[in-house]
Amino acid sequence: MQALRFRVGGKLAQFRRFYTNSSSLTYPIPPPTAVRGLLGAALGLGPEYAEFLKDHRFGIRPAGPWRHLMQTVNHLFVKNQGGRLDTKNLAGGEHTQIPVQFVAPKPPAERVVYEILVVGPELETLRDALLRPAYPLSLGPAYALASLDALDEVAGEVGEGHAGPLLGAFYLEALDRLRGPGGVRVLHDRFPIRLDQERRPLVVKDLGLEAEGRPLALDYRGPVFKSEAGVWALVG
């Protein structure tokens, strides 16, 4: 079978951790929910994008070094007066300062880049949408604009379990053993996997990943995509 593999990058990324409230902390990689959103925007779909992409699974990894960047954002309190925004107090009115965390490139890199593998139906439709997106690609919020760096198809097969080097974010519940190599940085967090119709987390899982996207030698029981280019863990 075929899988779609692409790289997308930009100056900044921000994928808000769903469990934060007083500050906007970011995941280091786009969760499966954000990947579906990116593909849905490229397709030009509205809320129906979740149904269109419900059978797709993803391999997700950073494609190079990155760092966290914290910026304080001023949120102003404005009122809607009969369809018209009351802006008279913008200068001295109520406001709230919120710390917002971003993923930024780590010098000498100039862009944050992610590599994503897509397994599922309608790959040709997705390929055309990424090449000619209906809405601009972004790495989270609309202002974190992104561009497509590479796009190709990979031949392989979907299976269950793998012992050896594994690429991409993986389910921690399916990990039997981390076998090395030494000197790697493994991150883990609670990620939203699927959203309900109100965009609230419906399925949440613990995912692990190597910080810079390098393969990890694992004994793993989860879904994988095996190809000559490497073995990817599939999530979503």
Supply the CATH number for residue 32's domain: 3.30.70.3120
- Does some domain include residue 179? yes
DSSP secondary structure code for residue 106 in this structure: P
CA atoms within 13 A on the CB side of 210: 23
Domain that holds residue 158: 2-74+106-233
Q: How many domains does the structure of the chain reveal? A: 1
Digit-by-digit pLDDT tens for the chain (236 residues) are 999 999 999 999 999 999 987 778 999 999 999 999 999 999 999 989 999 999 999 999 999 899 999 988 776 666 665 666 555 555 555 667 788 899 999 999 999 999 999 999 999 999 999 999 999 999 999 999 999 999 999 999 999 999 999 999 999 999 999 886 667 889 999 999 998 877 888 899 999 999 999 999 999 999 999 999 899 999 99
Taking the C-alpha atoms of residue 146 and residue 135, their distance in angstroms, rounded to an integer, is 11
- For residues 183, 188, 194 and 196, what is the CA-based torsion angle, rounded to 10 degrees? -160
Query: Which distant-in-sequence residues (6+ apart) come within 8 Å of 119 by Cβ?
Result: 1, 3, 56, 57, 58, 59, 158, 225, 234
Taking the C-alpha atoms of residue 10 and residue 199, their distance in angstroms, rounded to an integer, is 25
- Does some domain include residue 221? yes
CA 76 centroid distance within chain:
29
- Does some domain include residue 87? no
